[in-house]
Structure 1
């Protein structure tokens, strides 16, 4: 059975990467989620996609240059302005406390070598504290992040995010000892999917929002789909 992950919670149904978005994902019956992480200036794991605040909050500034106490006061519903209530930027620790997901894909964006090591260390400490080591996979398209994971936290499951085929994603995943391949749906051919699975990879395909595409990728044998509309995905694949 093809599993379902809510993309940034339930991005198509509520403001992305906010508590209400992850709560909506759970309400839809989807117990797996994908989210994005950056590190605040004081070393807290912040759940936000962009390195800057503009798109989701309308504010200026970089996440990395502000402390967590400031960031968590900002309303992050600008990408979904019709939402009736303010939606603060959450800390990963808040989501771990309040959302009982079976599995989390924690995507880390590109970072310098030093910053990659810091964020990987922070993820390791937090997942250990919440006893979630076996329920997370840290994913990234950044070689620096994957290298830091392999070097500093080899016990954490890791995954390659592959958007383009200019480098063979299966070779890159093998080079960094990945367990998961987060594959852009445009790259998901039956041949590549089968080859990846034979390599021992869980293949999670993103971002899949159309019912016909959901069914096609499930028929191909994709291990999981990442979608903005987890409720729709449940209705399409599991509630028939």
Structure 2
């Protein structure tokens, strides 16, 4: 049965860390900010991909990096600053957005959340429990992902959030495919809703027709990251992928809705 997160026709466009246009960037807006999420929503994105960290006072924030160096030239780590300090840093960069604010402010957005920090797993799961129908939880760490899912269930989620596996599980899927172990692939995909993968990793192909076929046999969608060029978007959609994770949600939405694109 399809998870409610993936209800509705595809292909899906997942706004990677929100949407920051060139003009917004020139005015100081950064990714994973309140303004970036709002811009993705305003552009028509149903899905927003983001990342979760925990501040020193226990607030889950949408923030990609472990530290503030890239965003603000500040060497402090997210876990070393309080939420109000991070809000001050982000005040002229599009504004800080917490996970709680995101869920409350954008009730019609479906959030794809990557749990970046081990100590964020439990609070992320607890916060999304009431919105499990519109949340997908993932992490490069399967342990962290499963901890967040367990926390959502413990917090009373009506059903578990959707989920995409970590890098360990994806590596096992690829190995099983190479060995043509269809039953092993089916077992590995049994408890996931989407495979979110790059086209290749360190020069090694990850996406393949065989992987797409195996995922679709298991009723699992394949979402590819991070795709920003229109021609590559078209190529991947024509290849059969179900979703694009992109920094240019505005462009991808136009490509996905193009006259030559059959609704899926």
Pick the TM interval, shorter chain: 0.7 to 0.9
User: How big is the shift at 1:179?
Assistant: 1.9
Alignment correspondent of 1:109: 116
| TM-score, scaled to structure 2 | 0.75
SS at match of 2:90: coil
Question: Do the aligned residues in 2 keep the contact of 1:5 with 1:34 (CA within 8 Å)?
Answer: yes
Aligned with 1:221 (options 226, 240, 263): 240
Equivalent residue runs for 1:115-194 within 5 Å: 115=119, 119-128=120-129, 131-149=130-148, 151-153=150-152, 155-162=160-167, 167-168=172-173, 174=188, 177-186=191-200, 187-194=206-213
CA drift at 1:53: 0.7
Aligned to 2:221: 202
Task: Verify the 8 A CA contact 1:173 1:181 in the aligned structure 2.
Answer: no
Quote the Cα distance in structure 1 between the aligned partners of 2:196 and 2:135: 14
Structure 1 position 158, deviation (Å): 1.9
Closer, same or farther: CA 26–147 of 1 in aligned 2, 3 Å: closer
Structure 1 residues 30, 151: closer, same or farther in 2, change over 3 A? closer
Which deviations, in whole Å up to 9, do the C-alpha atoms of 1:24-57 show, x marking residues without a partner?
Answer: 1122211111001101112111111011111011
Q: Distance in 1 between matches of 2:142 and 2:169?
A: 14
Alpha-carbon spacing, 1:208–1:152, altered in 2? closer, same or farther (3 Å): same
**Structure 1 residues 192 and 222, CA gap change in structure 2 (3 angstroms):** same
Matching of residues 225-236 of structure 1 within 5 Å: 225-236=244-255
Contact 1:163 1:183 in 2 (8 A): no
TM-score, structure 1 normalization: 0.82
State the number of aligned residues: 224
What secondary structure does 1:61 align onto?
Answer: strand
Q: Supply the RMSD in Å over aligned alpha carbons.
A: 2.7
Deviates more, 1:162-171 or 1:7-16: 162-171
Residue 107 of structure 1 deviates from its aligned partner by: 0.5
Tell me the distance in 2 between the aligned counterparts of 1:234 and 1:19: 21
The whole-number CA distance in structure 1 between the counterparts of 2:197 and 2:216 is 12
Runs of 4+ in 1 over 3 A off after TM superposition: 11-14, 149-154, 161-173
For structure 1, list consecutive stretches of 5 or more residues without a partner in the other structure: 77-84
Residue 74 of structure 2 corresponds to which residue in structure 1?
59
For structure 1, which segment, 21-30 or 93-102, has the greater mean C-alpha deviation from structure 2 after superposition? 93-102
Shift of 1:163: 9.9
**Structure holding more helix per residue:** 2
Q: Which entry has the higher C-alpha Rg, 1 or 2?
A: 2
**Cα distance change of structure 1 residues 157 and 99 upon mapping to structure 2, 3 Å threshold:** same
Check the 8 A contact 2:113/2:136 in 1, yes or no: yes
| Counterpart residue number, 2:7 | none
Partner Cα separation in structure 1 for residue 187 and residue 140 of structure 2: 10
